[in-house]
Structure 1
Amino acid sequence: MFSVTLKKIKEDFSLELVTNDENRLEDILVTSTDVNRPGLQLVGYLEYFGTDRIQMIGKVETSYLAGLTPKERYSRLDEFFKCGFPCMVVARGLEIFPEMLEVAQKYGIPILRTKDVTSRILSALISYLNVELAPRVTKHGVLVEVYGEGILILGESGVGKSETALELVKRGHRLVADDVVEIRKVSDKTLFGTAPDIIRHFIEIRGVGILDVKNLYGVGSVKVTENINLVIQLEFWDQKKNYDRLGLVDEYTDILGINVPCLTIPVRPGRNLAIIVEVAAMNNRQKNMGYNAARALNERVLGR
């Protein structure tokens, strides 16, 4: 199971820490992608309560608590905080009741605050957690963005993946990752790819060494993350192998349970791989828009 520290969430969303728990934030791990707005919990119904979720209150919850007497408010909050959860986030920059601060200190639960409206911070936090806690796998390859399509280039070491990526960058496309690609499944249909922080925007070219693509070609030549829309498998040309020349049959490769369109491109001297990748990206986009050139030609030949 993957996790993200509360300290990282606080920093990424610029949240204000109201309680005195700064030293503990690194040790508090969030493991659920769900964020809960406690409605029934504040009125005392605590059955089926997911204690692994971040809790968030806004104007509605605060108005309800404001209508209670201090004794009732303390009692409700005490029962709620007793269950234990990673933290409480207060939206809209609302004032925090003294009773909430007291029970938060009693049970060691941090309270964070933001000036964002409740619905906005709620959706942003859920999207963030879906990425941070997504199932992931690491692939040895190159990820580039070509005409808005995320292209994952795989192949044996020395087949020309990095050289192809460098040529694509020179042609105006963007590098996401070289050598190591971290892939995350952020939904049932979406894969995100990125590079490990330590090697982000660097590329290795044999005979030249390590290059910093961002410094060489500018910030417009790189990207931090990109969806994976197509996988291109580069392999050395095998004279005995019959390669697909029509493209009538779509091939896929499984990554984290998602089938991604896949092409096998043979490599031999004289082939311009960068142009081939560009055309493959445009053709994949065309297929997604409902036009398949191979099938259109086949229908013409068959006279249909």
Structure 2
Amino acid sequence: MMYLSKLLNFISLKFKEPGVTSHIHGVFVDIKGKGVLIIGNSGVGKSEVALDLISKGHKLIADDSVAFYKSNQNTLIGQPPSLLKNLMEVRGLGIIDIKKLFGYKSVTSKKKLFLVVELKAFQKEMDCSRLEMTLDSFRLFDIYIPKIELPVTEIRHVSLLIETAVKNYILLQKGSNTIHNLSEKLNLQLSLDH
């Protein structure tokens, strides 16, 4: 990991790509056609989760360093640094070529940032809602992107949770809110009982 971090710092300083204005530490994947940035402390399992997502048919955009720029439509576009395209660093495996391992459909070159998922090591004192997904925001270039904090433990299937979070957020954008719907049903049931 230390080798890759030094390499990325060198690349971003020496080979600044046109239009790229910020590098973010994380893994950027295409899930169901949506650009999802997975962030978190070093060692929390970002690359392993992304590898699991890729094995399920989702696509790698960038690993470890994601180059972002602001597009004309006031959106954020993320892509890999050109020298690291299709590459991923996984502890114990080293640097691997995702395109060669999983085929050309396992990678894509860039995507609009849709959602940020922050992986956090679970601690008992964490305040986690059990009723609904809590959205925060991630700011880059004065653009706010929705962010979900996801507590992780060794027994949680994190890639499945991320897939579910993306699908649930898509439903929220379409106006379908599960907790709101449940609340309405409960209120209706209570009014019928009285």
Q: Which TM-score bucket, shorter chain as reference?
A: 0.7 to 0.9
Aligned ranges 1:17-96 → 2 under 5 Å: none
1:268 maps to which of 146, 153, 164: 153
Deviation larger for 173-182 or 253-262: 253-262
In the alignment, structure 2 segments of 5+ residues that lack a partner are 1-17
Q: In the alignment, is the contact (CA less than 8 A) between 1:248 and 1:294 conserved in 2?
A: no
1:140 maps to which of 10, 22, 25: 25
1:181 alignment partner in structure 2: 66
In the alignment, structure 1 residue 293 sits paired with structure 2 residue 178: yes
Residues 1:285 and 1:158: Cα distance change in structure 2 (over 3 Å): same
How many residues are paired up?
A: 173
Residue 89 of structure 2 aligns with an amino acid whose one-letter code is E
Q: What do you get for the CA RMSD once the two structures are aligned?
A: 1.9
Cα deviation code 1:212-257 (max 9, x no counterpart)? 0000011100000011100000010011111122226532221211
Residues 1:249 and 1:180: Cα distance change in structure 2 (over 3 Å): closer
Cα deviation code 1:88-130 (max 9, x no counterpart)? xxxxxxxxxxxxxxxxxxxxxxxxxxxxxxxxxxxxxxxxxxx
Cα deviation code 1:13-58 (max 9, x no counterpart)? xxxxxxxxxxxxxxxxxxxxxxxxxxxxxxxxxxxxxxxxxxxxxx
1:171 alignment partner in structure 2: 56
2:8 alignment partner in structure 1: none
Cα deviation code 1:274-302 (max 9, x no counterpart)? 11111111111112222122222232233
Aligned ranges 1:247-258 → 2 under 5 Å: 247=132, 250-258=135-143
Residue 258 of structure 1 aligns with an amino acid whose one-letter code is I
1:237 maps to which of 119, 122, 127: 122
Per the TM alignment, residue 199 of structure 1 is displaced from its structure 2 partner at its CA by 1.0
1:216 alignment partner in structure 2: 101
Residues 1:256 and 1:215: Cα distance change in structure 2 (over 3 Å): same
Residue 246 of structure 1 aligns with an amino acid whose one-letter code is L
Residues 1:236 and 1:186: Cα distance change in structure 2 (over 3 Å): same
2:163 alignment partner in structure 1: 278
Q: In the alignment, is the contact (CA less than 8 A) between 1:165 and 1:274 conserved in 2?
A: yes
**TM-score scaled by structure 2?**
0.83
Per the TM alignment, residue 167 of structure 1 is displaced from its structure 2 partner at its CA by 0.4
**TM-score scaled by structure 1?**
0.54
Structure 1 CA distance for aligned equivalents of residues 89 and 125 of structure 2:
31
Residues 1:187 and 1:227: Cα distance change in structure 2 (over 3 Å): same
Identify which of structures 1 and 2 has the higher relative contact order when contacts are C-alpha pairs closer than 8 Å and 6+ apart. Answer: 2
Residue 182 of structure 1 aligns with an amino acid whose one-letter code is A
In the alignment, structure 1 segments of 5+ residues that lack a partner are 1-131
Identity %: 34
Deviation larger for 236-245 or 154-163: 236-245
